[in-house]
Amino acid sequence: MQENEIENEYLTGREQIVRANGVELWAEDFGDPGHPTVLLVMGAQAQGVQWNDGIVRRLVDGGRRVIRYDHRDTGRSSTVDFTTHPYTVADLASDALAVLDAFGAARAHLVGASLGGLIAQRLAVTEAPRVLTLTSLSSQPLGTDTAAVVQRALEGASPIPGELPPPRPELLAALTTAFPRPDADPEEYLAARMPLWRVLHAGVLPFDEGEYRAMERRVYQRARDLTAGLNHTLAGAAGSDSTAGLASVTAPTLVLHGTEDPMFPPEHAEATAAAIPGARLIMIDGMGHTLPSCLDDRLAAEILRHTSRAQP
C-alpha cells in the first residue's frame, strides 16, 4: 500500500479546539458520547494521531468513547516559548483535564504512553475522583528524573546505585541525529527519523518502514513547529512529583510494557507496578517503545479488559 493510500484511510472524529491554560489544544473524540470515556495521552514530542487508528477503532467497537489530543507544542496545538512561559508535567496534566472538561467527561479511563503515562499517573494521584482506571503504557514511575539519567549516560558516568537503568546505548546514539533542522523538507525529515524508529521499534517484531514513514509524514503535515516538542524534555525535568505519591492511587491500574523497550527497560515497568497498590503488570513479548499496528489487537484487548473492571 502506498503512503497516500494509507493517508486516505485515516480515521476522523469530532474535532474541537480546546482553549485552556493559555493555550489551544487540538482534540477529537470517537464513538457514542454516552459510553465510558477513554482518554489517550501520548508521549513526549508525539501527536495525538500517533495513537493508531486501529487501536481507536477497536476501543470504539468495544463500547468505549475515545478521546485523543495534541499536547501543547505538538501537532495542531499551540506552540509555547518555553523560556518565557515554562511548564511542567503538572501543566500538561491540567491540559488533559481541560480536554476532558471540553468533551463533558466528568470521569475517564486514562491510558498514557511514555510521558503520557506520567501525566496519567499524576492525575490518578491528584484527581482521583475523575479517574476510573489507569493504564501506564511504555512508561516509568512518576517522579523519575529521566533527563538527569540520560545526561549522565551521555557523559559516560556510572549509574547511581538504585537508579533505574538508562536508555540503551543504541537509542542514545540514534537520538543525536533524529531531529533535523526546522526547515527540512519532507524527505529530509523522514530520512532523519527512520533510524530512530528502527531502534525504538527494537529488533524482534517485523519492522514495517512504510507504516512508520506514513505516520511521520502525517506528523510532518500536521505540525505547527516540528521542533517545539523538544520542550517536553524540559517540562519533564522541571517537575517536583515523587514516586512515593503513587502509593495513594486508588484507581485499578494496569502497567503495559514491552520486553524490548530501549527507552525504559523493563525495570521501569516493574518499579511502576510496585509503587501502585494492586497494580497488574503485563509484559508484551517483542514490543519496543513504539505502537506498531501489528499490536493493535493485543493492546486494545488489554485496555478493554482492564477498563471493564471499573465502569461509571
In this predicted model, what pLDDT tens digit does every residue of 162-171 receive, in sequence order? 889 999 999 9
Say whether pLDDT at 243 is over 50. Answer: yes
pLDDT: which is higher, 226 or 150: 226
pLDDT at 5: 35
pLDDT at 1: 31
Mean pLDDT of 20-24: 96
Task: Tell me what the pLDDT averaged over the chain comes to.
Answer: 93
Tell me the CA distances in angstroms from 81 to 71, 86, 175, 198, one per residue in order: 14, 7, 23, 31
pLDDT at 3: 38
Say whether pLDDT at 42 is over 90. Answer: yes
Confidence band (pLDDT; 50, 70, 90) for 9?
A: low
User: Which CATH architecture best describes the domain 3-307?
Assistant: 3-Layer(aba) Sandwich (3.40)
Confidence band (pLDDT; 50, 70, 90) for 236?
A: confident
Mean pLDDT of 21-29: 97
Say whether pLDDT at 137 is over 60. Answer: yes
Using CA atoms, how far apart are residues 200 and 202, in angstroms rounded to an integer? Answer: 5
pLDDT digits (tens, 9 = 90+) for 199-225: 999 999 999 999 999 999 999 999 999
Say whether pLDDT at 280 is over 60. Answer: yes
Domain spans of the chain?
Answer: 3-307
**Model pTM?**
0.94
pLDDT at 148: 80
Residues 6 or more apart in contact with residue 274 via CB below 8 angstroms: none
What is residue 226's three-state secondary structure?
coil
Using CA atoms, how far apart are residues 11 and 194, in angstroms rounded to an integer? Answer: 24
Active site residues: 114, 261, 289
Say whether pLDDT at 240 is over 80. Answer: no
User: What are residue 112's DSSP bridge partners?
Assistant: 41, 136
Percent of the chain clearing pLDDT 70 (strictly above): 96
Q: What are 31's three cell numbers?
A: 464513538
